[in-house]
């Protein structure tokens, strides 16, 4: 089954074609980073308009790359939520309409299910069951996964998501949007022993997270050090790098502590990490170390499939279409959508 995936939930237009027998046939990504950079974050209205400009040309290019005509596809998968509603509506409407024109089914995909399944695009896909750590700009969740669609949320962030905390702290350090990867690059040169930030909510039982206090702790140190955005001559690159490193270490440690707990609680031996923050090198290294110690395995996608992309949507949609089919003619766009409400697919 060959499925076209369309991702437009936030600031990336991602298009891909996934074949359930041959794997990924083609994929294209257009990032709106430059468009939003002047505003220091995503402007929803501008995001929607840019998706309108980019989605169809990217679909055309992706079909060309795969050497396929639209009518040769078996289905279209589009991200239906969670995300920015205007942005979602662009992909949903285009996807549903093309499917109608080409007389093929369309399927509404949950963005976080796309992230969660992205490691299955790699050579050694994870087997079920596993614990998934979903870490993106909008979500931080630990999920017990027994099959596709059989998800139990073990814990989640009660305030900022991990990626959001990275982005906000990066902004305090004067780094441009999107700050997460920039902060991580800066942390490479940082001294891990100069500053120490708390590991929030690790001193009590439970699997929930809280990252907003960490951002405040970083803000206090940045102010005290006379470093950060707009502090002019007080800026000191080494201090900024040291703060970045301490912040990254705190997030990574906190995530690893909770992953270990989730694995213990479920008894599962496999850990899957997904979402934009799973591209973070130090987090990958830490969770590799954790799983080696526990004699288990960790799985993640290549960096370009950790952040938003069309391939994960094409894959998730193909697996759902294959199992369930779809005669749904409505256009679905849901800014909020619980992962636990999805229907399970029998393994």
Binding site for ligand KG4 (CB under 6 A): 10, 115, 136-138, 163-164, 166-167, 178-181, 184, 275-277, 279-280, 307-308
Q: Which is nearer to ligand KG4, 32 or 307 (CB)?
A: 307
The DSSP bridge partners found for residue 2 are: 19
The answer to whether 3 and 16 have CB atoms below 8 angstroms apart is no
Residue 114 interaction partner, one of Zn ion, ligand KG4, none, beta carbon < 5-8 Å per kind: none
Which CB, 19 or 308, lies closer to ligand KG4?
A: 308
Judged by CB, which is closer to Zn ion: 105, or 163? 163
Residue 89 interacts with, from ligand KG4, Zn ion, none (CB under 5-8 Å by kind): none
Nearest to 318 by CA among 107, 110, 142, 141: 107
Q: List all residues 6 or more positions away from 255 whose beta carbon is below 8 Å from its beta carbon.
A: 133, 135, 140, 162, 209, 283, 286, 287
> Least distance from C-beta 174 to ligand KG4, angstroms?
15
To ligand KG4, the closest distance from the beta carbon of 248 in angstroms equals: 8
Q: Residue 75 or residue 81: which is nearer to ligand KG4 going by CB?
A: 81
φ, ψ for residue 308, nearest 5 deg: -60, 140
CA of residue 180 relative to chain centroid, distance: 12
CA distances from 149 to 9, 160, 252, 314 (A): 20, 25, 27, 16
- In whole angstroms, the minimum distance from the beta carbon of 116 to Zn ion comes to 11
Among Zn ion, ligand KG4, none, partner that 280 touches (CB below 5 to 8 angstroms by kind): ligand KG4
Instruction: State the binding partner of 138 from Zn ion, ligand KG4, none, CB within 5 to 8 A by kind.
Output: ligand KG4
Helix H, strand E, coil C: the string for 179-218 is: HHHHHHHHHCCCCCCCCCCCCCCCCCCCCCECCHHHHHHH
**Distance in Å, CB of 101 to Zn ion, minimum:** 28
From the CB of 308, what's the least distance to Zn ion, in Å?
Answer: 4
147 and 345 in contact (C-beta within 8 Å)?
A: yes
Residue 166, binding choice from Zn ion, ligand KG4, none, Cβ under 5 to 8 Å by partner class: ligand KG4
Q: Find the shortest distance in angstroms from Cβ 313 to Zn ion.
A: 10
Strand partners, 270: 297
Q: Measured from the CB of residue 311, what is the shortest distance to Zn ion in angstroms?
A: 12
- Comparing CB distances to Zn ion, the nearer of 167 and 308 is 308
The smaller minimum CB distance to ligand KG4, of residues 149 and 180, is found at 180
Residue whose CB is less far from Zn ion, 201 or 301: 301
Say which entry of ligand KG4, Zn ion, none residue 180 contacts (CB below 5 to 8 A, set by partner kind).
Answer: ligand KG4
DSSP state of 81: E
In whole angstroms, the minimum distance from the beta carbon of 276 to ligand KG4 comes to 2
Q: Name, in order, each residue with C-beta under 8 angstroms of 48's C-beta and a sequence gap of 6 or more.
A: 84, 86, 87, 89, 90
By CB under 5 A, name the binding residues for Zn ion: 136, 308
Question: What string of DSSP letters covers 91-149?
Answer: HHHHHHHHHHHHT--EEEEEHHHHHHHGGGGSSSPPPSSEEEEEE-SS-EEEEEEEETT
Pick from Zn ion, ligand KG4, none: which does 75 bind, CB < 5 to 8 A by kind? none
């Amino acid at each position: 089954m060959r499925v076209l995936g369309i991702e437009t939930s936030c600031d990336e237009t991602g298009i891909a074609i996934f074949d359930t027998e041959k794997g990924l046939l083609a994929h294209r990504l257009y990032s709106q980073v430059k468009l939003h950079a002047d505003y220091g974050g995503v402007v929803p209205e501008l995001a929607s308009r840019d998706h309108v400009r980019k989605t169809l040309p990217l679909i055309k290019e992706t079909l060309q790359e795969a050497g396929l005509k639209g009518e040769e596809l078996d289905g279209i998968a589009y991200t239906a939520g969670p995300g920015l509603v205007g942005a979602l509506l662009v992909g949903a409407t285009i996807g549903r309409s093309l499917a109608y024109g080409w007389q093929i089914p369309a399927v509404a995909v949950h963005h976080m299910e796309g992230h969660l399944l992205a490691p299955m695009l790699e050579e050694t896909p994870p087997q079920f069951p596993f614990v998934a750590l979903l870490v993106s700009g909008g979500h931080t969740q630990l999920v017990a996964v027994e099959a596709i669609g059989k998800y139990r949320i073990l814990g989640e962030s009660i305030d900022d998501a991990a990626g959001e905390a990275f982005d906000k702290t990066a902004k305090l350090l004067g780094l441009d949007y999107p700050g997460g990867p920039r902060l991580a690059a800066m942390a490479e040169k940082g001294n891990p022993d100069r500053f120490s930030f708390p590991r929030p909510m690790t001193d009590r039982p439970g699997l929930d997270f809280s990252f907003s206090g960490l951002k405040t702790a970083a803000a206090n140190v940045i102010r005290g050090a006379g470093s950060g955005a707009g502090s002019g001559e007080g800026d000191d690159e080494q201090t900024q790098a040291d703060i970045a490193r301490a912040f990254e270490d705190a997030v990574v440690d906190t995530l690893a502590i909770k992953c270990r707990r989730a694995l213990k609680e479920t008894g599962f031996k496999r850990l899957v990490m997904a979402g934009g923050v799973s591209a973070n090198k130090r987090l990958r290294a830490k969770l590799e170390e954790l799983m080696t110690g526990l004699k288990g395995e960790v799985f993640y996608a290549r960096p370009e499939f950790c952040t938003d992309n069309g391939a994960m949507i094409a894959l998730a949609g193909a697996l759902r279409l294959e199992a369930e089919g779809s005669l749904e003619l409505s256009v679905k766009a849901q800014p909020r959508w619980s992962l636990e409400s999805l229907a399970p697919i029998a393994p």
